[in-house]
A and B are shown apart, each in its own frame.
Chain A
């Protein structure tokens, strides 16, 4: 990569996607979603069973971009200061010095986020929403490129704390990886006979490339009609039966931004209804709070979103 040839935003996307593909076999859709969140400035929550490659995907992304990357393994005894940082008294100059926590980075991998108590989970709220942390009354901005990839096991698993709704709303997207096909699993085995392919990954994009990608996403055009469609879909989740808490306007915003990213990935200068529909489920579903009784009778947030998509007439 030379300085006189800077890749186009779409090339950046394709390069990162190809890099991740080397490690994550058969997860092109998940990669696309993850990058859409990165490109639109949102954070991602990966939820799946242990061993499906959540951490590997997050690490592959971090290693593909030549930026600072930190990882926090969330445990039940983790404290907010373990993430944000702490002021320590220096005996020599008799002053407090702030020791930055792992949150001061470009990419933060919050592994198994729901193993920490809600208190610690909440420490990330301000950082994720506003790109800054306030410690001891002092506002400390994070770097311009700040991106959280959190992973978690399904909430029903032992030793987990469910994320507060407010925290859930901070994640632009949540999606599962799912099990890959048998052939792809065989390929994974073959790849890892000698060493993990993660070790072979080389960065293929710089911080500048990524920021350029983000700016390009903002430039993707979207018509008034589609904005209205997004609002209609999000609003419909609020009135759907069996839903206690519908999606917020922040969700509408996230749908629009990620749809713009998807349009850019497809080389389109404007958003189409397909792009919107593609991102609605991963962007909205995790924000809905389903009525316990409805949940018991088999209603899922994903199902609510699918039903809404089916019902609201899509512009064509």
Chain B
């Protein structure tokens, strides 16, 4: 098989780097891949070593696959993952490039065949295939970026044409090859544009048919009334950093709700007035002012945001968002802040004052208690004597009530446990079970406050846990998702959380043993994303500095133990065969000429058979001068132990030369 033309693989890798914006990294890779063409030393790799290299890439491949599925939106995982393929397979390709002998076999690529390959012994080496495969991988990965850019297509056509040029059929004329290439690339370009149009049309139609993605804000489905264990993952969703003089916010809100709907199978909190209004950037393009109120507290929050669009959680009373790179930042009257056209990792410093700045003032909805819940709520209100008390007193009594008499648990009892089928879940929580999770506490508190005449809302978001160990950040996991109450006191909305404080500890206890491993991976991803999107090199290097050496040490130990570098020349220990007679025959020039013309002789094909094939090509219209007499002389020269006379030797030479002249003449004529 034809070897890859020089520099093509390196350029393809550069092309990938250019597309994924990792040009420096890919430049290093390209140099590594192309260097063997200019230097003479190689590694003395064996077949087993290549198997190990492949196994390493395989492990990287599987880890990357698993990792991207664990940490990313499933639909995006595949794409993200494909993007990194050139990096994953680089060790293997580089090893092939620096190997003294081509010892890649088909068996290398399969764990199952590793063993079998050893038994069978000598399968054909297929090292050439690796560069072609890698070429394709780089292409696929570069295309994942999906740059709608004519430069991308041009580069694809140029690189593809370059490769195809080297393996084109020598039988067809060059103009025909060029014409076919032009036809194919124009058709491809047309198809690409058409596909883009089609996609735009489908997306447009689909978005009109489907409801908007803000649904989450207008309502939130609670688990109140559902049965079984609440299962929440340990995935880290937020990282909160604070400077030394500012405490971390206890609660980060995503949205608030004012209407409790018990009509459905599951109770639902609804919100009115969720229209977003977009903000103008402040003095700097990354500063967004939400409120003019003076702020004394600050926290820096990082979260990953697929597609760069979504709700970002903020502490109560956000005033200024700093360092937030986004096209659009919007806020609504429920206290939600939404960004659009941001980076996959958003990182912002929020300055806040602890009292509401965005929320709409209270109205009649904030005092409504659904009829179904009134009996229980009224009973508790009566027991606690909340009516007519000051808001502070009500809040104090409620806090004491919940902390003292209720327990936190994520396990929800079955409906069969309840004595009567008609009482609501909240009713059972307040009067019978006195145990539940945060949604129960928040909902119950909201309704009790309302019953006592104090406007209250239901808020959702995250509770920020204390720092653990030597961590520099508060790690907010998915299981820290929380619900609490917004209570209107002194003309402003304040956070009020009645869930027993034990809940955080309880959930920590249930954390999986794999959490630390997951955190490590998550941390690496986070550092990498910070480096990638915010140029924060130190963050990535810190993470890699101690992770990479471990991996490298292990691998080197396995691979290079007792291995030595060899020079390409001195090493070849191939069986030296004696030089046979007639190696200087001019016939070999003819063979070379015909090989270049696209009619090579196969390995096990004797000349007689080859001549018959040439005859067939001649009948098909190729102009090949007759070779019969030359072959007869050549054969005598090569295989007759008596040799040929000097006159015959001269004849062979002159005949071969005139043949070459004639062939060159016909080639020029055609």
- A contact set with B: CB distance below 8 Å: 221-226, 228, 239, 241, 269-274, 277, 309-316
A274 x B120 contact (CB < 8 A): no
A223 x B603 contact (CB < 8 A): no
- B contact set with A: CB distance below 8 Å: 120-122, 577-578, 580-581, 591, 601-610, 635-636, 638-642
Residue of A nearest to B588 (CB): A316
A316 x B603 contact (CB < 8 A): no
Residue of B nearest to A239 (CB): B121
A196 to B523 Cα, complex, angstroms: 94
Known: A224-B580, A241-B120. A310 touches B639 (CB 8 A): no
A272 x B635 contact (CB < 8 A): yes
B640 x A221 contact (CB < 8 A): yes
Which 10 pairs across A and B sit closest by C-beta, in order of nearness? A270-B640, A273-B606, A225-B580, A310-B604, A274-B608, A223-B639, A313-B603, A274-B606, A221-B641, A314-B606
- Within the complex, the shortest CB–CB distance from B203 to chain A, in Å, comes to 51
Known: A223-B580, A224-B580. A310 touches B642 (CB 8 A): no
A315 x B580 contact (CB < 8 A): yes
B609 is contacted by which of A223, A241, A269, A274 (Cβ under 8 Å)?
A: A274
Residue of A nearest to B587 (CB): A316
Known: A241-B120, A315-B580. A309 touches B604 (CB 8 A): yes
Residue of A nearest to B634 (CB): A316
Known: A221-B642, A222-B641, A239-B122. A270 touches B636 (CB 8 A): yes
- Which residues from B are CB-within-8-Å of A310? 602-604
- Within the complex, the shortest CB–CB distance from A269 to chain B, in Å, comes to 7
A315 to B587 Cα, complex, angstroms: 13
Which secondary structure dominates chain A's binding surface? mixed
A184 to B146 Cα, complex, angstroms: 67
A225 to B640 Cα, complex, angstroms: 10
B607 is contacted by which of A222, A273, A311, A313 (Cβ under 8 Å)?
A: A273
- Which residues from A are CB-within-8-Å of B607? 273-274, 316
- Within the complex, the shortest CB–CB distance from A37 to chain B, in Å, comes to 22
- The count of A-to-B residue pairs whose CB atoms sit within 8 angstroms is 67
- Within the complex, the shortest CB–CB distance from B101 to chain A, in Å, comes to 18
A309 to B606 Cα, complex, angstroms: 10
B604 x A313 contact (CB < 8 A): yes
- Which residues from B are CB-within-8-Å of A223? 580-581, 638-641
Known: A221-B642, A225-B639, A269-B640. A312 touches B604 (CB 8 A): yes
A10 to B605 Cα, complex, angstroms: 28
A223 to B579 Cα, complex, angstroms: 12
A270 to B120 Cα, complex, angstroms: 37
Residue of B nearest to A270 (CB): B640
Residue of B nearest to A263 (CB): B639
A312 to B607 Cα, complex, angstroms: 14
Q: Assuming A221-B642, A314-B606, what are 7 further A-B pairs, CB within 8 angstroms?
A: A222-B639, A224-B641, A239-B122, A269-B642, A270-B639, A270-B640, A313-B604
Among B577, B581, B608, max chain A CB count under 10 A is at B608
B641 x A315 contact (CB < 8 A): no
Residue of B nearest to A306 (CB): B604
Residue of A nearest to B604 (CB): A310
Residue of A nearest to B119 (CB): A241
- Within the complex, the shortest CB–CB distance from B633 to chain A, in Å, comes to 12
Known: A223-B580, A223-B581, A239-B121. A271 touches B639 (CB 8 A): yes
- Within the complex, the shortest CB–CB distance from A225 to chain B, in Å, comes to 4
B638 x A315 contact (CB < 8 A): yes
A270 x B609 contact (CB < 8 A): no
B603 x A314 contact (CB < 8 A): yes
Residue of B nearest to A277 (CB): B606
- Within the complex, the shortest CB–CB distance from A222 to chain B, in Å, comes to 7
- Which residues from B are CB-within-8-Å of A316? 591, 601, 606-607, 610, 638
A311 x B603 contact (CB < 8 A): yes
A309 to B639 Cα, complex, angstroms: 19
- Within the complex, the shortest CB–CB distance from B537 to chain A, in Å, comes to 54
- Which residues from A are CB-within-8-Å of B641? 221-224, 270
A309 to B581 Cα, complex, angstroms: 22
A273 to B602 Cα, complex, angstroms: 14
- Which residues from B are CB-within-8-Å of A224? 578, 580, 641
- Which residues from A are CB-within-8-Å of B120? 241
- Which residues from B are CB-within-8-Å of A241? 120
- Within the complex, the shortest CB–CB distance from B505 to chain A, in Å, comes to 64
- Within the complex, the shortest CB–CB distance from B75 to chain A, in Å, comes to 43
- Which residues from A are CB-within-8-Å of B610? 316
Known: A309-B604, A315-B580. A273 touches B640 (CB 8 A): no
- Which residues from B are CB-within-8-Å of A272? 606, 608, 635, 639
- Which residues from A are CB-within-8-Å of B580? 223-225, 315
A251 to B603 Cα, complex, angstroms: 23
A107 to B609 Cα, complex, angstroms: 35
A226 to B606 Cα, complex, angstroms: 12
A-B contact pairs, 12 of them (CB 8 A): A221-B640, A224-B578, A224-B641, A239-B122, A273-B639, A274-B608, A274-B609, A311-B604, A312-B603, A314-B604, A314-B606, A315-B580
- Within the complex, the shortest CB–CB distance from B536 to chain A, in Å, comes to 56
- Which residues from B are CB-within-8-Å of A228? 577
- Which residues from B are CB-within-8-Å of A277? 606, 609
- Which residues from A are CB-within-8-Å of B638? 223, 225, 315-316
A252 to B359 Cα, complex, angstroms: 97
- Within the complex, the shortest CB–CB distance from A271 to chain B, in Å, comes to 7
- Within the complex, the shortest CB–CB distance from A308 to chain B, in Å, comes to 8
- Within the complex, the shortest CB–CB distance from B510 to chain A, in Å, comes to 55
- Which residues from A are CB-within-8-Å of B636? 270
- Within the complex, the shortest CB–CB distance from B650 to chain A, in Å, comes to 20
A274 to B611 Cα, complex, angstroms: 12
Residue of A nearest to B636 (CB): A270
- Which residues from B are CB-within-8-Å of A273? 606-607, 639
- Within the complex, the shortest CB–CB distance from A151 to chain B, in Å, comes to 31
